[in-house]
Amino acid sequence: MITDPDTYTRGVPYEHLAALRRKSPVVRVDDFWAVLRHSDVKYVLKNPKLFSSHLGGTQIRDPATEQDLGYVRRMMLNMDPPEHARLRGLLTRAFTPRAIGRLTERIHGWARDLITAVAAERRCDFAAVAADLPLLTLAEVFGIPEQDRRLMYDWSNRVIGYQDADYAVSATVEAGEVTDLARAALAVRPVPGVDGAMPDPRTRAGMPDLYAYATALGEYKRRHPGDDVMSNLMGHVEDGGRVSIDEFENLFWLFSVAGNETLRNGIPGGMLALLSHPDQYRRLLADRSLLPDAVEEMLRWWTPVMHFRRTATEDVTLSDVDIRAGDKVVVWFSSANRDESVFEAPDRFDIGRTPNDHLAFGHGPHFCLGAQLARVQLRAMFEAVLDLPGEVELDGTPVRLRSNFQNGLKSLPIRW
């Protein structure tokens, strides 16, 4: 049940996860061990020597070929120390409090502009509106021309939404809307085959347009460096190879997809949490000082990324369960963030919940680099929403993403 993507079109099966967790905090599901308890999830994530990101990658599905496995292993997401630390160290300056502080005013301005653009209509699809804020922010941080930002929307749809018929073929960007760099990439954008299927987006061959754009952007940054992450990384490619060109291109993949999709679903997920709990929404309207805590509770209650895989490097016992070397071990954030041993009344949405030790951004060496940047964007968007006249309410039925990985909303119609 917890691996069936159709299940999630109706919602995350929290009751089933809780029943499994009560039976055993580590349970066998299909061909992997599901780790369901908060403390065990933290233990797995902070011990890469025992539970590797590199051996089999971080997705439940095994790559189809050894070549495909080699490809995913070159991504920072699928690296172990010390290689992971080498790349992460080159990126940290883009996410320091000082760097994020310089961006904060612009992020708040973008959020206000996005809400202002739909305010007169007094209704919108909030999932569509919210999708643009992380795109604008990523374009700024990584030095991507603003008019090309919607490429990241399509790429993340295809990668994260490969189980959803609508998202798997996402192609919303037209050549006349983008730069020359992007037009060259669009020329190699894949299309469905005769059977209607798209190539596997986890392979390099499945995302030729993304890699064509990454190659062109890297060359542009080499000739025209700026004060952005991509220019900094290309400088390390140039200065003796601290970063290989393959690593540069795969980091671009990671930023474009993972850096966008989690927040894009977290914002409308947070809105649905508020609208599903009108007492908490009105509490927030009455006391804006609760917004930082409300954002943390949105992340816990909605939990955009539902799980990540590790692979056991040796025989190990976890919560009295014997795990063999080579076994898949999947930490289930959606379960850990509802663990009753950590969170009082875990199914209750409480914007004043403190402490709130949620794991929406992970834990350990792979803790999300952009966590603080994500928090700034969430606060900015909800400040703009709270400024709307009257109260926001649902204006139709939310449409969920068909995915067993990303807790996503394709549509969230609202009115005020």
Is the predicted pLDDT of residue 321 greater than 90, yes or no?
yes
pLDDT in tens, 225-244: 998 999 988 888 876 678 88
- Return the half-sphere exposure (C-beta side, CA atoms, 13 A cut-off) of residue 402: 11
Q: How far apart are CA 206 and CA 202, in angstroms?
A: 7
What tens digit of pLDDT does each residue of 42-80 get? 999 999 999 999 999 999 999 888 988 988 898 999 999
CATH superfamily, region 5-141+257-415? Cytochrome P450 (1.10.630.10)
Residue whose tokens read 């050894």: 66
Check residue 68 and give its pLDDT.
87
Q: What is the pLDDT of residues 184-205, one digit of tens each?
A: 999 999 999 888 889 888 888 8
DSSP class per residue in 325-365: TT-EEEEEHHHHTT-TTTSSSTTS--TT--S----TT--GG
Greatest Cα-to-Cα distance within the chain, rounded to the nearest angstrom: 61
Region label for 355, one of left (φ > 0), alpha (ψ between -120 and 50) or beta (otherwise): beta
Nearest to 81 by CA among 57, 60, 52, 59: 52
**Which pLDDT score, from 0 to 100, does residue 330 have?**
98
Gyration radius (Cα) of the chain, Å: 21
Q: Give per-residue pLDDT as tens, 238-277.
A: 766 788 888 888 889 988 888 888 899 999 999 999 999 9
221 or 239, greater pLDDT: 221
- Report the candidate in 323, 333, 313 with the shortest Cα–Cα distance to residue 37: 333
Condensed to tens digits (0 to 9), the pLDDT of residues 109-152 reads 999 999 999 999 999 999 999 999 999 999 999 999 999 999 99
pLDDT at 243: 85
> Distance between CA atoms of 264 and 154, rounded to whole angstroms?
12
Of the pLDDT bands very low, low, confident and very high (cuts 50, 70, 90), residue 400 is very high
Share of the chain above pLDDT 70, in %: 100
Where do the DSSP E strands lie in 244-355? 307-312, 316-318, 321-323, 328-332
Q: Where are the domains of the chain?
A: 5-141+257-415
The per-residue pLDDT of the chain, averaged, comes to: 94
Cα 167 → chain centroid:
15
Global confidence as pTM? 0.94
As a whole number, mean pLDDT of residues 97-102 equals 90
- pLDDT (0 to 100) of residue 239: 66
Give the relative orientation of helices 83-91 and 229-238 as an angle to the nearest 10 degrees.
130
What's the length of the chain?
416
For 413, phi and psi rounded to 5 degrees? -75, 130
Task: Write the pLDDT tens digit of every residue in 330-375.
Answer: 999 999 999 999 999 999 999 999 999 999 999 999 999 999 999 9
Positive or negative, the CA dihedral 71, 164, 59, 91 is positive
